[in-house]
A and B are shown apart, each in its own frame.
Chain A
Amino acid sequence: MDNQVKMRAQNVDFFYGKTQALKNVSLDIYANKVTAMIGPSGCGKSTFIRLFNRMNELVPHTALRGKIFLDDLEINGPLVDAVDIRRRVGMVFQKPNPFPKSIFDNISYGLKVNGIKDKAFIEQKVEESLKKAAIWGEVKDRLGDSALKLSGGQQQRLCIARCLAVETEVILFDEPCASLDPISTTKIEELILELKKDYSIIIVTHNMQQAARVSDYTGFFLLGEMVEFGKTQDIFTKPQDPKTEAYITGRFG
């Protein structure tokens, strides 16, 4: 009951054209835990999490081998709609990317494209999502303002609220603090710890302290392979692989 598997990658290979970006990666993502992917730039960690919501298929000339499951559903199965998967597995990107629309419309967008028309329900959902993303207090009086007027950190929390609104089950964070200042970063990290009560979270980060602070499990990637995976505490205190140890002690990276 403690470690229920929410998502699972099984022997995943991934190719950009002829270049192999991921080599035989298998990994379990546990429900209501934060799983961090660390590793040097270009190691394939971002490519890897983009497989969980099928974002990579928007990139031309790519190929995937292996299987990825969400609960018991194979997400790349023949009858599965990517749109469905992306609603259940939300994503927060490296650079905050609110739409050039009002704050309200940014959140309601996901509901509307999923066919929800009930105005009262949408309003309630927007408020709820903004509250969960810890930004309601800052924006409640100006929901009609353009989202682009918010600061970077606020925009990123808005983007988090945007994926919460569609009742996502898993949230993928792709270096969510890469473009934020330390205070905004702290807020996002606190938020992640809060959110894991209700969601399963995967976070890619190049910041090892961040991985240590927020995650329960950590996977270390190097050159497209997952070198080591385990409890964050174990990875950082007694890594099994000399390469992991070299990376977390800062000898390369």
Chain B
Amino acid sequence: MKIFHLKEKLYKWLFTILAFASLFFLIGIVLVLIKEGLPIFHKVSFSKFIFGRFWYPTYSPAEFGIFPLIMASIWVTLGAVIVCVPLGIGSALYLNELAGVRQKAILKPIVELLASIPSVVFGFFGMVILTPFLQKVFNLPTGLTALNASIILGIMATPTVCSIAEDALNYVPNAFREASFAVGATRWQTLTRVVIPAAGSGISTAIILGMSRAIGETMTVLMVAGGAAVMPHTFLEPVRPMTAAIAAEMGEAPVGGDHYHALFAIALILFVITFVFNIIAEMISRRFRIKLGLSG
């Protein structure tokens, strides 16, 4: 009897610890980012770091302005949104409203399978197929550009957007559709005036999480974005998003040096951005569930 109780307790503790492990990791990572990132601000002011237009970390004197990197991340992410929103939402609408049961049973797993392709494979695809194509079409010196990264990231974010948006459409009770048909609405009217507005915040969540996927992606942008740490002017120029800068430069930055700290500070800023994205997504999706009368 006693051993049994002991075992029960042991299990409880074991799983409690495991459950809290993620929290510890999160806090640990944030603390390290802060500890290693903050020292750079003794060298450069915060605003100069964020809005500085020159990123010459290895020059002497070095310049630590990450504005070109931030802009590159924003451009590439927005470009990815332009690609993944029509693709992802469009396929979600098709899957949920038009495809038959069997078609959906086959198609949805396939779309989700797209998410399981390693990012390096996407990057490879961009380098080998998209790069020469873009170079030829736009007659560019290099096909490794913001456009290239946007397209590949957009395709990579599509399964995220599609899957979450499809879930949102699925959550819209069938009773709403029936009610709409029953007053003489067409399928299109039902879709645009009842189903999509009802799923609206769920769809916004899907887009935000897709963006968060795109902005945090590293390997692909490292491979196809071109890597030039200068202010982007058009989508047809090489850029260096924040993630690519960290990945490319961390290996050569001397530990404890200014460059090293600057890279950690970039990581910290990136973390804050994705964190905010995820919070917003969570808030919107909570409102969505309340709106549809599902549990908060």
Question: Which residues of A approach B to under 8 Å, CB–CB?
Answer: 53, 55, 58, 60, 83-84, 86-87, 90-91, 93, 95, 97-101, 109-110, 112-114, 148, 159, 162-163, 165-166
Contacts and interface: CB of A to CB of B under 8 A. Distances in A.
B173 to A, nearest CB: 7
Given A109-B183, A113-B185, A163-B183, 12 more contacts: A55-B178, A55-B181, A91-B178, A91-B182, A99-B180, A100-B198, A100-B293, A110-B184, A113-B186, A113-B193, A159-B179, A162-B179
Contacts of A165: 183
B183 A93 contact: no
A55 B185 contact: no
B183 A60 contact: no
Nearest to B200: A100
Contacts of A110: 183-185
B30 interface: no
A93 B180 contact: no
Interface residues of B, number: 23
B179 A99 contact: yes
B193 A109 contact: yes
Contacts of A114: 183-184
B178 A97 contact: yes
A100 B178 CA distance: 14
Given A87-B183, A113-B185, A163-B182, A93 B175 contact: yes
Interface of B: 100-101, 173, 175-186, 189, 193-194, 197-198, 291-293
A189 to B, nearest CB: 21
Contacts of A93: 175, 178-179, 182
A58 B186 CA distance: 12
B182 A99 contact: no
A84 B186 CA distance: 10
B198 A84 contact: no
Contact of B182 (A84, A86, A98, A148): A86
